[in-house]
Structure 1
């Protein structure tokens, strides 16, 4: 695995795992050069990189057709004191993240994903639906902190994901999906009782 912050090599044709986590100076332009030079990339972590936009996500998907794992975690804005030591508030405010636009890029250009982690994304039920329609091979989906989607949204979307094994929901609940639909129904009933629209942003 290469961390691009310490190794600025734009062309690594055999590279399969890349982490640029928490690199505030990595932009769309930088990432587009990396993607075009790493066609065999299978795993990518671009968490907390706020200058990478949905346009670049689409380009990554096109240039890296073998991508299987994407991590795109973001900082929570519910408690600013937790994020300020890592990223200046001014930086976050000037780089707004469009969750649904990113979801469109992921669903359309990353169909081979088996693991997707998008913690604290601002995507809505529309974006989640597009991901579930485009990434039907997903086995692991992490939606922790994605408070714009409800249990009903997640249930509707996951009906397309026949391979799904692990689902981390926005409200701290991890649901292990099993073939036993009766047991899953009990989990779903419990979840619907305790999650309401109060949790929507």
Structure 2
């Protein structure tokens, strides 16, 4: 009796899949898997990869969300890679692009977004050292559907951009304008260039007034480690009556009395994150959190005038 032969493996030509099926497959993959693998398979895969519907949301944040920040993210070579990806997505999607969450892009390619993507609703560009008021003014004038903006750690953006965004983007509900921890810069040293750390914006009250005067429908505001004073916070509470969430943690120029007075008029406020005025010293390691001893003592003194 002849031995039964092994069944032959079915040979598949992945390049023969229909475009609709390829798009369906690609839509189920992560951004990383799409960019690092599928686009390089063959011409038909690359053609499907450029389908606008696959890129209406361009979100690279998960790639940056790790406990350890990398110093290489802050060099020009890495910025050029992010710019190249952003340029490609803008070219493929045009007006169908509605959400962008990236970091370390440049002024030039953010201006390209303003030029070609008028339907942007969410723009998150944290930690972009070379994004300035120039590109933000173009965003303000062209992307009027903007409802969420995150410009945290973008130190070349000033209060002038906040005014333009507020005046030209009436749907804006969420603003995140957090600064790096200047109370304990050691956590950034060796990663973020020192000259950039030293460029931390000092005009906290100017930014607060810009927000108050131009963003009356704001519902969510984050200004961690802002250097605003009680005057600035009062401006925000008066100018942004619809606030439901407010984060002023790390704002060392504010006392608990300042915050209580300002927030009392915010009738819609559901959550407020305050500076941690009374931090038990035993909670922290002295070598890293030594600044908190001074921070704590300052507010222990202020308790007598609250």
Structure 1 length-normalised TM? 0.82
Instruction: Provide structure 1 residue ranges, at least 5 long, that are not aligned to the other structure.
Output: 174-193
Q: 1:90 offset after TM fit, Å? A: 1.1
The verdict on how the C-alpha distance between 1:151 and 1:172 changes in structure 2, with shifts beyond 3 A counting, is closer
C-alpha displacement of 1:198: 5.7
Whether 2:268 is the aligned partner of 1:171: answer no
Match of 2:249 among 122, 137, 144: 144
* Aligned-residue offset at 1:159: 1.3
Q: What is the distance in 1 between the residues matched to 2:126 and 2:235?
A: 25
Mapped pair 1:100 → 2:198: no
Offset at residue 36 of structure 1 (A): 1.1
Distance 1:68 1:155, change over 3 A: same
8 Å contact kept, 2:166–2:214: yes
Partner of 2:261: 156
User: Partner residue of 1:186?
Assistant: none
Q: CA deviation at 1:93?
A: 2.4
The aligned residue for residue 54 of structure 1 is: 159
CA deviation after TM superposition for structure 1 residue 28, in Å = 0.6
Q: Distance in 2 between matches of 1:137 and 1:58?
A: 18
- Whether the 8 Å CA contact 2:230–2:254 is kept in 1: the answer is yes
Equivalent pair of 2:277/2:299 in contact (CA under 8 Å): no
Deviation at 1:97, TM superposition (A): 3.0
Q: Which structure has the highest helix share of the two?
A: 2
* Match of residue 43 from structure 1: 148
Distance 1:32 1:101 in 2: 17
2:193 is aligned, of 70, 88, 105, to 88
For 2:173, the equivalent position in structure 1 comes to 68
* Aligned residue in 2 for 1:77: 182
Q: CA RMSD in A?
A: 2.1
Q: Secondary structure at the residue paired with 2:126?
A: coil
TM-score, scaled to structure 2: 0.55
Q: Which is greater in Rg?
A: 2
**Corresponding position of 2:125:** 20
Structure 1 residue runs of 4 or more that deviate by more than 6 Å after TM superposition: none
Question: Relative contact order (C-alpha < 8 Å, sep 6+): which is higher?
Answer: 1
Would you say 1:33 and 2:138 are equivalent positions?
A: yes
Is the CA contact (8 Å cut-off) linking 1:51 and 1:95 kept in structure 2? no
Match of 2:100 in 1: 2
Cα offsets for 1:156-184 (capped at 9, x unmatched): 101110000000001179xxxxxxxxxxx
Corresponding residue SS for 2:267? coil
Gaps of 5+ in 2: 1-98, 279-297
